[in-house]
């Protein structure tokens, strides 16, 4: 087969991967084991977050906590740090389950596959590592970026990984094989955030170049650039229905976008300093933002109003995640520890 035909098949394959949904991830060492149950979430009252309380604090890292991910069954918390390690915790009990070592630089980003079997980490060492989350073993190391990996996202079918880097590029990978499928160029600075729509057809990227790019994989690849913020775009989150995009920036602003129409709906003010992270609730009713102003703020996505401000840190908060069962929020930052907040 000619190289031209092989390249054509590769391009067609990635488009098909983004269009398909609902396929269980395969290719791990525990392929024959049943996947963990994924929590079913009913729509909840956003105001239920008003009375959230500090439940416990996890301590174990020796440097900043840059990334947090929670397993689909809401039982496992994974944290990545500037101390070059990844720690795995029992979310219900707070017990440490293990420390994953393998990176030679700080961990910038984490993602867990939809079946809960695979963890992916991106680091300042320019590497992406794919881990068996059930054993803690490294399955493979993905080499391709020429600078630090800042952002990761896994497609809804668990087959495709997307990474953003300080080398200004976005790379698309076959998660099961580790094959690099395609590189997307277009940003003129660090790609600090990536997110994939629930139907798998749209990729959104945010950059230090102050723009958001919306990449649509359908019959062909199209891209739309949103002149988004007055400073670096640091974080992105897409609602579960795929209709709304939320972006956070070093300009201290949160912006709400109509994703299908690529239109700005609202600017949200509240944070007094740089915004580092945004996470969406699984029911799409609320989202949370983490900032250098030492707070996490919880917002009602429908009314665009702030529900609650969480305090208790003495330094910047770099990471935040809401559990798939919609009951717990975890946040971490410069203070080296992770606060676990729960609804009463």
Tens-digit pLDDT string for the chain (344 aa): 443 333 333 333 333 333 332 222 222 223 223 334 445 555 678 888 999 999 999 999 999 999 999 999 999 999 999 999 999 999 999 999 999 999 999 999 999 999 999 999 999 999 999 999 999 999 999 999 999 999 999 999 999 999 999 999 999 999 999 999 999 999 999 999 999 999 999 999 999 999 999 998 766 688 999 998 999 999 999 999 999 999 999 999 999 999 999 999 999 999 999 999 999 999 999 999 999 999 999 999 999 999 999 998 999 999 999 999 999 999 999 999 999 999 99
The residue to which tokens 């020796």 are assigned: 62
Total-model pTM: 0.87
Given the DSSP bridges, would you call strands 76-81 and 86-90 parallel, antiparallel or unpaired?
A: antiparallel
Is residue 35 assigned to a domain? Answer: no
Q: Is 174 helix (H, G, I), strand (E, B) or coil?
A: strand
3-state SS, 183-249, equals EECCCCCCEEEEEECCCCCEEEEEECCCEEEEEEECCCEEEEEEECCCCCEEEEEECCCCCEEEEEE
Q: How many CB atoms lie within 10 A of CB 137?
A: 12
Q: Which of 129, 68, 76, 71 is nearest to 101 (CA)?
A: 129
For residue 128, give Cα distances in angstroms to 139, 239, 243, 302, 322. Answer: 11, 26, 30, 36, 24
Which residues form the domain of 162? Answer: 3-23+43-342
Is residue 29 assigned to a domain? Answer: no
Dist. CA 272–CA 250, nearest whole Å: 10
Burial profile 247-268: b = 16 or more Cβ within 10 angstroms, e = fewer: bbbbbbbbbbbebeeeeeeeeb
Paired tokens of 252: 């201290």
The residue to which tokens 């994939």 are assigned: 196
160 and 178 Cβ atoms separated by less than 8 Å: no
Paired tokens of 342: 């729960």
Is residue 37 assigned to a domain? Answer: no
* Number of domains, the chain: 1
Dist. CA 191–CA 203, nearest whole Å: 13
Is residue 34 assigned to a domain? Answer: no
Dist. CA 179–CA 143, nearest whole Å: 10
Is residue 28 assigned to a domain? Answer: no
191 and 153 Cβ atoms separated by less than 8 Å: no
Q: What is the CATH number of the domain that holds 292?
A: 2.130.10.10
255 and 268 Cβ atoms separated by less than 8 Å: yes
Is residue 31 assigned to a domain? Answer: no
* C-alpha 180 chain-centroid distance: 20
Q: In what order do the strands lie in the sheet with 233-238?
A: 233-238, 244-249, 254-258, 263-268
Is residue 97 assigned to a domain? Answer: yes
Dmax (CA) of the chain: 62
Is residue 292 assigned to a domain? Answer: yes
């Amino acid at each position: 087969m000619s190289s031209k035909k092989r390249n054509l098949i590769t391009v067609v394959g990635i488009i098909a991967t983004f269009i398909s949904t609902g396929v269980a991830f395969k290719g791990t060492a525990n392929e024959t084991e049943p996947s963990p149950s994924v929590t079913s979430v009913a729509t909840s009252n956003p105001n239920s977050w008003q009375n959230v309380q500090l439940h416990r604090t996890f301590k174990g890292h020796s440097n900043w906590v840059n990334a947090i991910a929670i397993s689909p069954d809401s039982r496992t918390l994974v944290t990545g740090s500037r101390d070059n390690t990844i720690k795995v915790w029992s979310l219900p009990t707070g017990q440490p389950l293990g420390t994953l070592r393998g990176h030679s630089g700080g961990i910038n980003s984490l993602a867990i596959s939809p079946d809960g079997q695979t963890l992916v980490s991106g680091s300042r060492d320019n590497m992406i590592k794919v881990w068996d989350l059930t054993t803690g073993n490294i399955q493979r190391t993905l080499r391709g970026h020429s600078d630090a990996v800042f952002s990761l996202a896994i497609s809804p079918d668990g087959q495709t990984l997307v990474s953003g880097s300080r080398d200004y590029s976005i790379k698309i990978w076959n998660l099961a094989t580790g094959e690099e499928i395609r590189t997307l160029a277009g940003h003129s600075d660090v790609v600090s955030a990536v997110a994939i729509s629930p139907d798998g057809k749209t990729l959104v990227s945010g950059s230090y170049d102050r723009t958001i790019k919306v990449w649509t994989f359908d019959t062909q690849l199209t891209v739309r650039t949103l002149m988004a913020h007055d400073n670096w775009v640091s974080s992105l989150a897409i609602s579960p229905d795929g209709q709304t995009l939320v972006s956070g920036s070093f300009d201290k602003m949160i912006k709400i976008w109509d994703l299908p129409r690529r239109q700005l709906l609202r600017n949200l003010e509240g944070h007094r300093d740089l915004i580092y992270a945004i996470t969406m609730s699984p029911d799409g009713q609320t989202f949370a933002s983490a900032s250098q102003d030492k707070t996490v703020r919880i917002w009602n996505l429908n009314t665009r109003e702030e529900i609650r401000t969480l305090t208790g840190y003495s330094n910047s908060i770099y990471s935040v995640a809401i559990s798939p069962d919609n009951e717990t929020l975890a946040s971490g930052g410069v203070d080296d520890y992770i606060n676990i907040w729960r609804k009463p």
